[in-house]
Structure 1
Amino acid sequence: MLTLVGTTSRLSTGLVAGGRWALSFDPPDGVKFNAVRRGRCVLTVDGVPGPIELAEGDCFLLVRPRAFTLAAEPGLRPVPAGPLFRAATDGVARAGEGEDVVIVGGRFGFGERAQELLLDVLPPVIHVPGRTAEAATVRWALDLIDAELRERPLAATLVTEHLALVMLIHLLRLHLAGAGPEGGSGWLAGLADPVVAPALRAVHAEPARAWTVSELARVAAVSRSTLAARFKQVVGRGPLEYLTGWRIELAADRLRRGDETVAVIATQVGYGSVSALSNAFKRITGVSPRDYRRWKQEIAPL
């Protein structure tokens, strides 16, 4: 899914702070992430009840474009972060007095389908405590990012961007493991469900296969009726309806990105003819594959 929505990453200016400090941030573009490399602070996000205490090693993802505040403690009056970050030197902004807290961060960008396919199934804020065995890979990625930023070897920017994507995947894994199947709905919740997950993985691995509910039930080692009911309960639609939607997403992605014929794309995503793909595509998107491609080419940036 991260590949389908065109995930990119970019590291931003770091923050060093000390004493009694508090900074207010405007709603970010894309998904914001921060990691506390030293010290402690408090995160407050518009629309999210209560402050979130961040300890050394903790990370958070701000999934929605909401204003937020980072502070030494609750109750402090914040100052706008923008001027401090615009005045940053050597990639570091400073707030307050001293160096009690060190924070690194950045943003993840996504393509046009990310909101519906990925971001809408996530909570507004994901907080991942760093001092747990499960977060070891996140700490490893952050340590390497620190080293790349500090030493600036050849291709440091490219390396840190890829490490940030590795970190994103592990943050989502940790969130998924902590939330469990009751932590939401949609395909992401399905991957945490022991019944639904094997069927979802099978659909994602072989979308062109002529799956039936019975075959997917055998993959999941449950009865047909059990899979159908559980899949609808957790994901929000039935197995074959999900398969159709996934195929259309893959077809749309190929239409946007490549120049294969509609016939080739139809075969790649599991349809035996152009007309079969066209009928399914128009039923779901409202336009034919050819009109969709023409429209996307017309609005594509130069």
Structure 2
Amino acid sequence: MDPLSQLLSLLKPESFASGGVVLTADMSVQWPAHEGVKCYAVVTGECWLSVEGITEPIRLAAGDCYLLPPGPSFRLATDLSVKTVDFQMLRAEMVSVTAEKLVEKSSCLLVGGHFFLAGRAAQMLLGGLPQIVHIRKDRDKAAMRWALERLSQEVREPEPGSGLIVQQLAFMLLIQALRLHASDNQKGNAGWLVALRDKKLSVALACMHQNPEQKWTLNTLALQAGMSRAAFAKHFGQTVGITPIEYLTQWRMLLASDRLQRSGETISGISAALGYESESAFRKAFKRVTGVPPGKVTRT
């Protein structure tokens, strides 16, 4: 399993909401500051996205997708000059999507989801993201088209099971948006996702993910990446934000937390499986990284 799939399997996302949002003509709606990550795409029409703290609004056209990490309040508007209304006042009307409503009244339909992603795995995944991720290139829209069309179909013409399908497709949209952002080689981009697209760093990450029990050192990881020790350490730190060995420890603790919660394995068994020579060393590392002793993380 590749590193992104491995990390996503540890997230256990909780969906706050998924489905469609309708903006009629001459509408401006304000959403509050939010936890979790929002990912929506425009199916028909166009609108403007404004995020508190960012001066210029962003125009969203059909096929565009936006991703908002946890952050400040934001506004969606089909007309920037009209009075802004709080989302809670229009919630029922905006999320009630019917074919008749779209034909007769709607100027913009967006579909997607709002997901709560918590813990160290989420921090790793979302770290380094800008306040707004805007997917708008033609090739990126083409990559998202299938999921967007299926999601739109389920929202517009719901059938038995549509609720679950919409949720899964919305999460697929989020994953695709994250992948496309990582592939966008804009200057200054950093974070774990960007490292996955780096030809050399991705090799080192794959080594740590596939064989976390190995006694990896800075030298052996640099050798795998085909770089000098100093160049590898600098490049990894600038891109990921921590040292390679710190990353290895964090990844091991993510795996350990998951196994402690889901399996009946003993702490000594897990520590040995992750490459620790003693249970004591594992316990110290676990508490240092997570803030709690492994005994506090029990199977649910």
TM-score relative to the length of structure 2: 0.85
- Does structure 1 residue 65 correspond to structure 2 residue 71? yes
Q: Which amino acid aligns with 1:201?
A: A
- Report the equivalent of 2:116: 109
**Deviations along 1:116-145, whole A, 9 cap, x unmatched?**
33334322221111x512332312101111
Between the aligned partners of 2:240 and 2:20, the Cα distance in structure 1 is 38
Q: Partner of 1:82 in structure 2? A: 88
How is 1:278-289 mapped onto 2 (pairs within 5 angstroms)?
Answer: 278-289=283-294
User: What letter corresponds to residue 158 of structure 1 in structure 2?
Assistant: L
In structure 2, give the amino acid aligned to 1:245: Q
Do 1:8 and 1:109's aligned partners in 2 also have CA atoms closer than 8 Å? yes
Partner of 2:141: 135
1:280/1:17 Cα in 2 relative to 1: closer, same or farther (>3 Å)? closer
Alpha carbons of structure 1 residues 293 and 98: separation in structure 2 relative to 1, 3 Å: closer
Instruction: Give the whole-Å Cα distance in 1 for the aligned partners of 2:218 and 2:195.
Output: 16
Deviation, 1:244, is 1.5
Q: Distance in 2 between matches of 1:188 and 1:12?
A: 24
Q: Partner letter of residue 27 of structure 2?
A: W
2:20 corresponding residue in structure 1? 14
What one-letter code is carried by the residue in structure 2 that aligns with 1:146?
A: S
| Structure 1 range deviating more: 3-12 or 217-226 | 3-12
2:274 is aligned, of 269, 272, 276, to 269
Q: Structure 2 counterpart of 1:247, which letter?
A: R
Q: Which residue of 1 aligns with 2:253?
A: 248
Aligned to 2:199: 194
- Please name the residue that 1:171 is paired with: 177
Q: How many residues align?
A: 292
Work out the CA distance in 2 between the residues paired with 1:137 and 1:182. 24
CA contact (8 A) 2:18 2:166 kept: no
Identity %: 37
- Following the alignment from structure 1 to structure 2, what is the Cα–Cα distance between the partners of residues 214 and 109? 38
SS at match of 1:174: helix
Summarize deviations over 1:142-189 as a string: whole Å, max 9, x none. Answer: 1111222333334222222222222111100111111557313x4233
Code of the aligned partner of 1:73: D
Change in Cα spacing, 1:282 to 1:106, as seen in structure 2 (3 Å) is closer
**For the structure 1 residues 276 and 109, does the alpha-carbon distance in structure 2 shift closer, same or farther, using more than 3 Å as the test?**
same
In the TM superposition, residue 25 of structure 1 has moved relative to its aligned partner by 1.6
Alpha carbons 1:181, 1:190 under 8 Å: kept: no
Cα pair 2:47 2:77 within 8 Å, conserved: yes
Q: Which amino acid aligns with 1:62?
A: L
Deviation for aligned residue 1:10: 5.5
SS at match of 2:276: coil
Q: In structure 2, what is the equivalent of residue 212 of structure 1?
A: 217
Contact 2:204 2:221 in 1 (8 A): yes
Q: Which stretch of the first structure deviates more once superposed, 63-72 or 228-237? A: 228-237
Change (3 A) 1:52 1:273: same
Moved more, 268-277 or 46-55: 268-277
Q: Distance in 2 between matches of 1:181 and 1:217?
A: 24
Shift, 1:217, TM fit: 2.2
- Please report the RMSD computed on the Cα atoms of aligned residues, expressed in angstroms: 2.7
**Residues 282 and 68 (structure 1 numbering): CA distance in 2 closer, same or farther, change over 3 Å?**
closer
Name the structure 2 match of 1:4. Answer: 10
2:151·2:169 contact (CA, 8 Å) conserved in 1?
A: yes
Gaps in structure 1 of 5+ consecutive residues = none
Contact 1:27/1:68 (<8 A) preserved:
yes
- Structure 1 residue 58: Cα displacement: 0.7
The answer to whether the Cα contact below 8 Å between 1:15 and 1:104 also exists between their aligned partners in 2 is yes
Give the 3 Å change call, closer, same or farther, for CA 112–234 of structure 1 in structure 2. closer
Write the letter of the residue equivalent to 2:112: G
